[in-house]
């Protein structure tokens, strides 16, 4: 082994240790807990609990419902994104740049907060029914579709960004060749464009599929309890005594990995098509009057539907508590909720918690992300592919599973009762301390985004720029500080902003790991407030608006920093 | 300071491919050695091993007797000009040039003086505050050169440094490179596939083929006395013909060929009577005129004429079916079909690859 390879192996070993301890180990504990015959000690082996999951009709129903939510949400996302992406990539029209950004708006609101707004707008006593003078309980009778529509309206930008990126990468001469060969517009789309952008569509879709399959907040707010994530959430309290929540989590993990693997397999089998690269940009013909109107109408319609929850949340945040009931709009307005949202100890504390947790998570991810990306792109050591796979693992592992594993970790050596690190991390004890776990959970969950951002950056930075630094006398550390990191600044900043903002609005870990008020991050505080009678919902909405403002700023910055590469971050 | 560079049995295997195979050569202090060869012949790999960017699978590399084989690039004190310049886009021209001096922890004052000095040497004194993206290709090339020179390297390595420039600029830049190497008294290794560059400014050229050294020597000698068909063809247009050795006397070899009898005094091996050999004659060494006393004379007929710049290339066919290309100045009034006499000096007839059926391996 050469000396310089020794450094790489040491870095690789360190990264394996970190990922092993905080990613693989919690997942392993979950898996182990579900097949241990003695749930208290975690010893023995049995498949009884797993079998029970499939025997119990309630659990079975929960699984089927979660799957149906995932499939319906993904299908709806593709249906929304494909036409939008095609129009945006192929044509030029007035207000195009505005719509390109506007369609990303849904990303700025956690769907479960959106659900509050949606209820206010189209719920039984909401604005729509007041306007029509009816009491049509759309969401009550169709909770399933409420969940699906809310999720799809939140997640379609992920598929949209991937479709646009795939179309930008498509060599226009391939389509032109079909045109010269006599293919009609539809034939070109079906036989050339669609097969070639399929990897991009699948890449985005598999993220949406797993995301919606494991979504916890939205079903909770819609009172749709017969779904696996909610069942796991409700099982947390009994997890130190029962194996059932573990077993349920294993099943969810299995299905999620199956989904992810299927996505990768489909992507892998269409490798040839994904290898096309545009040598020049496709021409984008300017649409005439009718075309422009249609394009604007299409984007406007989707954007309007997508922002209904946001409008609901904003209106709710501006209403005097309990005055928006059976009316089209709140009957009394106030700005007090925004102030109250910042004054309440539960709220203020949660904002401080979220800010510091997310900031630390983003910093941790920048360091890990650069190191992992560098080994993947530049490394010569064996085990790079495994590292790449591990870094992407969080995409396939539901947040709930990780959260569950972290709780299990806090109960085991060295953090368990009487162990050397007792109390360093504690979730379900009498005086819990979940903060270190929340940082780790946030950092691990969003690691893939920053790794992908750094990999994309490194692939564009020629290796000879690093070699030149070595030749002219730089040590490895100097090379990183003076050449690699400055050249990756844009990508790292974008990745860090994404980690930060998604951590600020992270749901499953926050809901599961923070059990006491002083540890609540923003999302858990919002959830707790929505459950509270009186002014709870109004204040929760005001917090939601603060959150939206924050995410608007960060996502706009990311979009500016990354340009068309933005879509590459949301890829499985 | 200039050092002697020595490669001994250097081999580089990448997977199942042997990119460089048992390469041994040395560069004298202050010499400018060109490594020439087609794409994939191992020339860039050799350069990267000298820089320390790639480790040899076998063999040793010495700078002035000091074994540098296992040293990292930063401990070798080399300067390198990359093919695409590899200027750091986030740094100014000055920062790029200063980088190596900073790494060597030189005092700020000295760094500034040296940067200013070298920038004016390459004619970019005014451009220090610009970023590389604001410079033309030729200017970027000069910055890359300045960055390599400023550290006073023991060895200067140049990896096809002119391949991204247009023809006029290439000529200017290669003169500048030669001047700078000589002014700074540098041992330099220059990798290219452009034989014209090599013939113009090299002290020595080494021709590589499939990772092996085919021939090394001063450019004129390698051009005039190629030891193999590969070298002969790689360094310019040539006629390769076959003949049988009829007699050998006082270093003069008489060859019986289908074109007639030709003599050669230009051979490196030891041909034997009766052996079939290949030989090379450059188009500019064959003259359409009556032979002088020491020259050989062949009679043939012009069968084809093509204009090539300021010259004519005429194909002359001989009685036995053999033909050669001859270079003639524009303005000649001969026509296709004319009978001509071709005069060739034995010195200009190079016998190739003796003992290897004339295929050119040595």
pLDDT digits (tens, 9 = 90+) for A160-209: 888 887 887 777 777 777 777 777 778 888 888 888 888 778 878 888 88
Report whether pLDDT(B270) > 60. Answer: yes
B167-205 burial, b at 16+ Cβ within 10 Å, e below that, comes to: eeebeebbebbbebbeebebbbbbbbbebebbbebbbbb
Residues of A in contact with B100 (CB under 8 A): 472-473
Q: What is the pLDDT of residue B360?
A: 30
Q: What is the pLDDT of residue B286?
A: 92
Q: What is the pLDDT of residue A193?
A: 84
For the segment A207-224, what is each residue's pLDDT rounded down to a tens digit? Answer: 888 889 988 888 887 888
The CA–CA distances, whole Å, from A117 to A112, A114, A333, A372, A527 equal: 9, 5, 16, 40, 13
Strand B78-81 with B187-192, pairing: unpaired
Residues of A in contact with B158 (CB under 8 A): none
Percent of the residues in chain B that have a pLDDT greater than 70, as a whole number? 97
Nearest to B74 among A3, A462, A470 (CB): A470
For the segment B2-18, what is each residue's pLDDT rounded down to a tens digit? Answer: 899 999 999 999 888 99
| Virtual torsion, Cα A153, A158, A164, A167, nearest 10 deg | -120
In this predicted model, which residue has the larger pLDDT, A421 or A15? A15
For the segment A391-405, what is each residue's pLDDT rounded down to a tens digit? Answer: 988 877 778 788 888
Evaluate the omega torsion of the peptide bond into residue B77 and state whether it is cis, within 30 degrees of 0: no
Which residues fall within 8 angstroms of residue A384, CB to CB, at 6 or more apart?
A: A12, A375, A376
Q: What is the pLDDT of residue A367?
A: 93
Report whether pLDDT(A451) > 60. Answer: yes
| Virtual torsion, Cα A118, A121, A126, A129, nearest 10 deg | -120
For residue B319, give the 3-state DSSP assignment.
Answer: coil
- Point out the least confidently predicted range of A142-146, A226-230, B151-155, B202-206: A142-146
CA gap A358, A340 in Å, rounded: 23
Q: What is the pLDDT of residue A271?
A: 45
Residues of B in contact with A469 (CB under 8 A): 88, 99
Query: Average pLDDT in the B332-359 region?
Result: 79
In this predicted model, which residue has the larger pLDDT, A494 or A95? A95
Distance from CA of A367 to the nearest CA of B (A): 21
A312 neighbors A139 (Cβ within 8 angstroms):
no
Task: Count how many pairs of residues, chain A against chain B, have C-beta atoms within 8 Å.
Answer: 64
Report whether pLDDT(B355) > 50. Answer: no
A97 class by beta-carbon count within 10 Å (0-12 exposed, 13-18 middle, 19+ buried): exposed
CA gap B175, B188 in Å, rounded: 14
H-state helical runs in chain B: 43-51, 93-103, 108-121, 137-150, 167-183, 195-201, 219-224, 229-234
CA gap A175, A266 in Å, rounded: 23
For the segment A406-419, what is each residue's pLDDT rounded down to a tens digit? Answer: 888 888 777 777 77
Written as six digits, the tokens of A445 are 């969950």
Residues of B in contact with A478 (CB under 8 A): 103
Tell me A237's DSSP state.
G
ipTM over cut 0.90: no
Residues of B in contact with A471 (CB under 8 A): 51-53, 73-74, 78-80
Query: Average pLDDT in the A252-279 region?
Result: 66
Query: Average pLDDT in the A375-397 region?
Result: 86
Report whether pLDDT(A569) > 70. Answer: no
User: With an 8 Å Cβ cutoff, is A462 touching chain B?
Assistant: yes
Residues of A in contact with B151 (CB under 8 A): 472-473
| Virtual torsion, Cα B310, B311, B312, B315, nearest 10 deg | -150
Which residues fall within 8 angstroms of residue A277, CB to CB, at 6 or more apart?
A: A169, A171
B309: confidence class by pLDDT, cuts 50, 70, 90 = confident
- Looking at chain A, which residue has its C-alpha nearest residue B144? A468
- Looking at chain B, which residue has its C-alpha nearest residue A478? B103
Report whether pLDDT(B48) > 80. Answer: yes
Residues of B in contact with A486 (CB under 8 A): 90
For the segment A7-60, what is each residue's pLDDT rounded down to a tens digit? Answer: 889 999 999 999 999 999 988 888 888 888 876 666 788 888 888 888 889 889
Test A487 with B74 for CB contact under 8 angstroms. no
Query: Average pLDDT in the B33-49 region?
Result: 93
Report whether pLDDT(A472) > 80. Answer: yes
- Dihedral sign, Cα of residue A491, residue A493, residue A496, residue A502: negative
> Which residue in A80, A74, A154, A142 sits closest to A112, CA to CA?
A154
Q: What is the pLDDT of residue A280?
A: 55
Distance from CA of B35 to the nearest CA of A (A): 20
Q: What is the mean pLDDT of chain A?
A: 82
Percent of the residues in chain A that have a pLDDT greater than 90, as a whole number? 16
Test B99 with A474 for CB contact under 8 angstroms. yes
Q: What is the pLDDT of residue B361?
A: 28
Tell me B247's DSSP state.
E
Query: Average pLDDT in the B292-305 region?
Result: 91
Q: Tokens 């394996």 belong to which residue? A: A16
H helix or E strand, kind and range, residue A54: helix A48-55
CA gap A504, B328 in Å, rounded: 81
Q: What is the pLDDT of residue A405?
A: 85
Query: Average pLDDT in the A441-470 region?
Result: 87
- Point out the least confidently predicted range of A482-486, A557-561, B58-62, B340-344: A557-561
A157 class by beta-carbon count within 10 Å (0-12 exposed, 13-18 middle, 19+ buried): buried
For residue B308, give the 3-state DSSP assignment.
Answer: strand
Strand B212-217 with B204-209, pairing: antiparallel
**Interface residue ranges in chain B relative to chain A, Cβ cutoff 8 Å:** 51-53, 55, 70, 72-74, 78-80, 82-84, 86-90, 99-100, 103-104, 147, 151
In this predicted model, which residue has the larger pLDDT, A279 or B326? B326
Query: Average pLDDT in the B200-226 region?
Result: 93
Test A473 with B104 for CB contact under 8 angstroms. yes
A239: confidence class by pLDDT, cuts 50, 70, 90 = low
């Amino acid at each position: 082994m050469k000396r310089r390879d020794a450094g790489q192996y040491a870095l690789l070993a360190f990264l394996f240790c970190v990922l092993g301890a905080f990613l693989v180990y919690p997942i392993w504990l979950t898996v182990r807990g579900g097949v241990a015959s003695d749930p208290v000690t975690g010893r023995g082996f049995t498949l009884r609990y797993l079998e029970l999951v499939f025997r119990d009709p309630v659990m079975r129903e929960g699984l089927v419902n979660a799957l149906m939510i995932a499939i319906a949400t993904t299908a709806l996302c593709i249906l929304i994104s494909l036409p939008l992406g095609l129009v945006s990539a192929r044509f030029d029209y007035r207000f195009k740049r505005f719509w390109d950004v506007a369609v990303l708006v849904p990303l700025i609101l956690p769907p479960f907060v959106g659900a509050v707004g949606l209820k206010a707008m189209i719920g039984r006593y909401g604005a729509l029914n007041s306007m029509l003078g009816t009491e049509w309980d759309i969401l009550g009778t169709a909770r399933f579709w409420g969940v699906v529509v809310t999720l799809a309206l939140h997640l379609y930008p992920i598929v949209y960004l991937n479709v646009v990126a795939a179309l930008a990468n498509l060599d226009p001469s391939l389509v032109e060749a079909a045109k010269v060969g006599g293919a009609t517009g539809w034939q070109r789309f079906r036989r050339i464009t669609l097969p070639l952008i399929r990897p991009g569509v699948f890449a985005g879709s598999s993220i949406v599929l797993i995301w919606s399959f494991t979504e916890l907040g939205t079903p909770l707010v819609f009172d749709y309890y017969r779904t696996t994530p909610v069942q796991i959430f409700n099982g947390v309290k009994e997890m130190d005594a029962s194996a059932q929540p573990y077993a349920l989590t294993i099943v969810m993990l299995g299905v999620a990995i199956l989904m992810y693997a299927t996505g990768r397999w489909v992507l892998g089998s269409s490798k040839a098509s994904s290898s096309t690269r545009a040598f020049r940009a496709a021409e984008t013909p300017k649409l005439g009057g009718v075309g422009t109107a249609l394009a604007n109408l299409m984007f406007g319609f989707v954007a309007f539907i997508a922002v209904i929850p946001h409008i609901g949340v904003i209106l709710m945040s501006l209403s005097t508590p309990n005055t928006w009931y059976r009316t089209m709009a709140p009957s009394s307005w106030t700005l007090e909720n925004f102030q109250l949202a910042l004054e309440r100890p539960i709220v203020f504390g949660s904002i401080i918690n979220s800010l510091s947790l997310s900031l630390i998570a983003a910093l941790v991810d920048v360091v890990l992300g650069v190191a992992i990306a560098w080994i993947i792109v530049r490394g010569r050591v064996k085990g790079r592919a495994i590292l790449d796979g591990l870094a992407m693992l969080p995409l396939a592992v539901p947040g709930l599973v990780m959260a569950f594993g972290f709780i299990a970790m806090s109960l085991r050596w060295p953090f368990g009762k009487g162990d050397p690190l007792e109390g360093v991390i504690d979730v379900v004890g009498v005086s819990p301390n979940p903060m270190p776990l929340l940082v780790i959970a946030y950092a691990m969950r969003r690691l893939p985004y920053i790794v992908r951002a750094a990999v994309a950056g490194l692939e564009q930075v020629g290796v000879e720029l690093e070699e030149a630094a070595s030749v002219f006398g730089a040590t490895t550390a100097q090379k990183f500080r003076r050449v690699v990191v400055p050249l990756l600044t844009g990508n790292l900043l974008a990745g860090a902003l994404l980690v930060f903002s998604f951590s600020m609005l992270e749901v499953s870990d926050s809901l599961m790991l923070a059990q006491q008020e002083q540890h609540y991050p923003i999302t858990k505080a919002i959830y707790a407030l929505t459950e509270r009678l009186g002014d709870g919902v109004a204040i929760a909405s005001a917090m939601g608006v603060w959150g939206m403002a924050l995410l608007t700023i960060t996502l706009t910055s990311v979009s500016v920093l990354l340009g068309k590469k933005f879509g590459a971050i949301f890829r499985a | 300071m200039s050092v002697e560079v020595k490669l001994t049995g250097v081999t580089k295997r990448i997977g199942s491919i042997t990119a460089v195979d048992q390469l041994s050569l040395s560069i004298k202090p202050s010499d400018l050695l060109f490594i020439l060869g087609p794409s994939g012949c191992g020339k860039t790999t050799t350069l990267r091993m000298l820089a320390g960017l790639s480790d040899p699978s076998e063999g040793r590399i010495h700078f002035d007797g000091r074994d540098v084989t296992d040293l990292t690039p930063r401990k070798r004190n080399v300067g390198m000009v990359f093919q695409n310049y590899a200027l750091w886009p986030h740094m100014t021209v000055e920062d790029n040039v200063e980088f190596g001096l900073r790494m060597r922890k030189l005092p700020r004052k000295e760094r500034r003086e040296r940067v200013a000095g070298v920038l004016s040497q390459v004619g970019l004194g005014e451009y220090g505050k610009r970023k590389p993206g604001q410079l033309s290709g030729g200017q970027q090339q000069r910055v890359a050169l300045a960055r390599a020179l400023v550290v006073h390297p023991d060895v200067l390595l140049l990896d096809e440094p002119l391949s991204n420039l247009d023809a006029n600029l290439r000529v200017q830049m290669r003169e500048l490179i030669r001047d700078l190497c000589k002014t700074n008294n540098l041992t330099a290794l220059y990798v290219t596939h452009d034989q014209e560059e090599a013939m113009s400014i090299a002290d020595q050229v080494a021709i590589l083929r499939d990772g092996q050294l085919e021939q090394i020597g001063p450019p004129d000698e390698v051009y005039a006395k190629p030891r193999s068909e590969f070298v002969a063809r790689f360094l310019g247009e040539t006629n390769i013909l076959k003949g049988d050795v009829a007699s050998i006397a006082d270093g003069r070899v008489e060859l019986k060929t289908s074109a007639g009898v030709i003599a050669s005094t230009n051979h490196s091996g030891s041909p034997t009577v009766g052996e079939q050999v290949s030989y090379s004659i450059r188009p500019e060494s064959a003259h359409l005129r009556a032979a002088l006393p020491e020259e050989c004379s062949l009679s043939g007929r012009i069968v084809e004429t093509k204009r090539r710049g300021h010259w004519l290339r005429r194909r002359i066919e001989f009685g036995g079916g053999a033909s050669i290309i001859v270079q003639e100045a524009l303005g000649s009034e001969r026509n296709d079909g004319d009978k001509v006499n071709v005069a060739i000096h034995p010195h200009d007839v190079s016998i190739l690859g003796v003992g290897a059926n004339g295929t050119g391996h040595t």
